[in-house]
Amino acid sequence: MNDSLIAQQQIDKVALLTLNRSSRRNALSKDLLTDLDRMLRVIADDSGVSAVVITGAGERAFCAGADINEQREFTPEDAYAHMRFGQAIFDRLEALPQPTVAAINGFALGGGLELALACDIRVASTQALMGLPEITLANLPGWGGTQRLPRLVGVSVAKQILLTGAPVTAADARQMGLVSALFEPAGLLDGAVRMAQQIAIHPGEALRTIKAVVAVGLSEGRREGLMAEARGVANLWGTPAQKAAQHAFFSRNK
C-alpha cells in the first residue's frame, strides 16, 4: 500500500488499485485523478503486472462521481478543461495494455460509473447502484459516459439512463450487460481478483494483442478490425509462448 489517494497492492500478477477517499465516498478529486494517471503510466510498463482490478475503499461507494466541491467556481472554460483532463486519463485507462476489472462495491455514479466504463470488465456487488445523474444538475456526463455507454448497452438503453438520471440496480445492470457478474458484497473483491487472475495466467503479449485488436474494430470498423486480427495472429505465431502452448496442446492430445 502507499500514502496516495489510491492504495496499490500486488496479488500475484494482479495490481489492485483502491480509490482511497472513503470519507468522500471516493469522489474523484483532481488530486485523485492525477494519482490514477501516474499509476497507470507506471503499470503500463510493468511486466510484472498482467491484469488490474480497480475498486473503492469502504462498503458504501465504488465512486460517487466527480468532486463537485472543486467545480463550484468553474467558468465554462474551466469546465471544458476539466472534462478534457478526465477524458485523457480515462482514455489512458481504456488503452492500458493490461486487462482491467472494475469491482463496483457500492454507488458508482457520474464520473464513478464513467471510470468503470473505461475498464474492460465490470463486476458488481448485488447491492451496487449505478447511474449517470448529471441531467439532474442540468448537465451531461463529461468523462466519456455518452460515448462508452451506448456501445456497451445499446443506444436506447443508454439514452434512458442518460436522459432520466435514474440509478440502475445491480440486477438490472447485469441483465443489460453493464456488468458481467454479480457477487455478494463480502465476496466481491475476491471474485474480481480471481477473475483477474484467470486472465493473468495467460501470456501478456497475447492479452495485449487481443485488447488492441478489439479497440481497432470498435474505433475503425469491421474491415480494419479483421485485418488487425489477422496481423495479430501472425505476430504471435511462432513466439516462445505460442510454441510452448501449441506443444502442450498436442502433447495432451497424444
Domain boundaries, the chain: 6-200, 204-253
Tell if the pTM clears 0.85, that is, is over it: yes
Decide if pLDDT at 251 tops 60: yes
Q: Tens digit of pLDDT for each residue in 24-54? A: 999 999 999 999 999 999 999 999 999 999 9
Tell me if residue 134 is catalytic: yes
Give percent of the chain above pLDDT 70. 98
What does the pLDDT read at residue 254?
65
Looking at 59, 73, 94, 134, which residue is catalytic?
Answer: 134
**Does position 108 have pLDDT exceeding 80, yes or no?**
yes
Alpha-carbon gap, residue 65 to 110, rounded angstroms: 5
48-57, 65-74, 226-235 — which is least confidently predicted? Answer: 65-74
Average pLDDT over residues 212-234: 97
Q: Which CATH architecture has domain 6-200?
A: Alpha-Beta Complex (3.90)
- The 3-class secondary structure across 95-144, one letter per residue, is CCCCCEEEEECCEEECHHHHHHHCCCEEEEECCCEEECHHHHHCCCCCCC
| pLDDT-derived band at 2, boundaries 50, 70, 90 | very low
Residue in 114, 184, 205, 220 annotated catalytic: 114
Active-site residue 114, yes or no? yes
| pLDDT of the residue at 3 | 60
